[in-house]
Amino acid sequence: MPVGDWCHRRVVTAEADISVREVARTMEREGVGTVIVTESDNPVGILTDRDIALHVLIERLDAEAVQARDLMQSPFITIPEETSLGRAARILRMHAARRLPVVDERGRPVGVIGSEDLVGVLSQELAALAKVVERQRPSPGSEAEAKQTIERSE
Amino acid sequence: MSQLKQYLKKAVSVPPDAPVREAAERMRSEGVGYVVVQAEDGHPVGIVTDRDLTLRVVAAGREAGITPVSAVMSRLTAVAAPTELLEDVVERMAKYGVRRVPVVDENEVLGILGLDDLLITLAAELHDIGEATRREVRDARRAAQIEQIRRELEDTFHEIEGAFHGVVEELEDVRTQAKDRITREVEAVRDRIRRLLD
């Protein structure tokens, strides 16, 4: 199962030259914690609510004067939309990230995947696999079903 | 019982009158996404997340050096005891719509059970279980396939063996026939020579 089928296919963007206070308000309005920072429509970085909170508060920055490009993470980690869910889960864990942008083959963001999305899918998968295990030794009939389940979960 | 404990994250605490800047500093130095607001007597009264700071301080235009954490924290609606079962606590989180619950023993905060951390851990665990199960099923199928191939090979071997025996028998026949014929021919030649000599 590719991650592109399961992520939220919605991307909230912010122009690189807008103030981080404006980005914070966008996050509040859109109910997101990650925005893609763009420069003439090209993604150039990502900015999270955590980045804004820590930089602005600790470094005593003027949230009106500081722009999105000043605080964004660039380059940023992305997950190709063809990546399997299991691998996506591992990437999130490896980078201790709550959410990461999902990109198409040209590197353009098409959505965001978070750990909460993965749990739902993986528990469905687990339930399907549990049925297979319950059958223990597959008879010829249930083997076909087992095969289907495996193919679905791959 | 120890189940709950294994999912706990350390609690980083600040007093209610600490400025929000201090909360941000603790979040960065401790590498956490939230701090527990703890009253003087030790009991937890609220939680402040990095997101709260972005929305309630940066977006709202509050002054980070003088705004106390108590002004932007979410008041605690649920706590858990260390002896509780994970599923009971998760149910309480759903009921109160909270993502983090301090686990409290007497007045001491032992740690925080966070839904986000829990989800990441569970997702990884579920995935590992899924992988192991898939491998098991795959191995079982492979073993069945190997047995099938072995049986087919055995059948083929028996067929070849049968055919070989047939060929050997036929060769025996041919050899016997040839031997008989040669013997007869030799006999005939010997007779003719004997007759010529007589």
**Mean pLDDT over the full length of chain A:** 84
More confident residue, A137 or B41: B41
What distance, in Å, lies between the first and last C-alpha atoms of chain A?
A: 6
State the pLDDT at residue A153.
Answer: 53
pLDDT of res. B193: 85
pLDDT at B1: 38
Residue B85, Cβ neighbours under 10 Å: how many?
12
Write down the pLDDT at residue A136: 56
Q: Which residues of B touch A63 (CB under 8 A)?
A: 58, 61
Q: What pLDDT does residue A27 have?
A: 95
pLDDT at A142: 54
Q: Which pLDDT value is given to residue B129?
A: 77
Choose from A57, A121, A133 for mutation: most chain B CBs within 10 A.
A57
Residues 22-61 of A with CB under 8 A from B: 24-25, 27-28, 33, 49-50, 52-54, 56-58, 60
Q: Please answer yes or no on whether B54 and A154 come within 8 Å at the CB atom.
A: no
Which residues on chain B are in Cβ contact (under 8 Å) with A144? none
Chain A residues touching residue B23 (CB < 8 angstroms): 57
* CB spacing of B126 vs A125 below 8 angstroms: yes
**Amino acid A54: pLDDT:** 96
Chain A residues with beta carbon closer than 8 angstroms to that of B21: 57-58, 60
Which domains are assigned to chain A?
Answer: 3-118 (3.10.580.10)
Pairs of CB atoms within 8 A across A/B: 126
Judged by CB atoms closer than 8 Å, whether chains meet at A21 and B21 is answered as: no
Q: How confident is the model at residue A44 (pLDDT cuts 50, 70, 90)?
A: very high
pLDDT band at A114 (very low <50, low <70, confident <90, very high): confident
Classified as helix, coil or strand, A112 is: strand
B27 touching A, CB under 8 A?
yes
Q: Tell me the pLDDT tens digit for each residue of A23-35.
A: 999 999 999 999 9
Tens place of pLDDT for every residue, chain B, 198 residues?
Answer: 346 888 888 899 999 999 999 999 999 999 988 999 999 988 899 999 999 999 999 999 999 999 999 999 999 989 999 999 888 898 898 899 888 999 998 878 999 998 877 777 776 777 777 778 788 888 888 899 899 998 988 888 888 888 888 887 877 888 888 888 888 888 888 888 888 887
Asked if A129's CB is within 8 angstroms of B21's CB, the reply is no
CB–CB of B20 and A57 under 8 A? yes
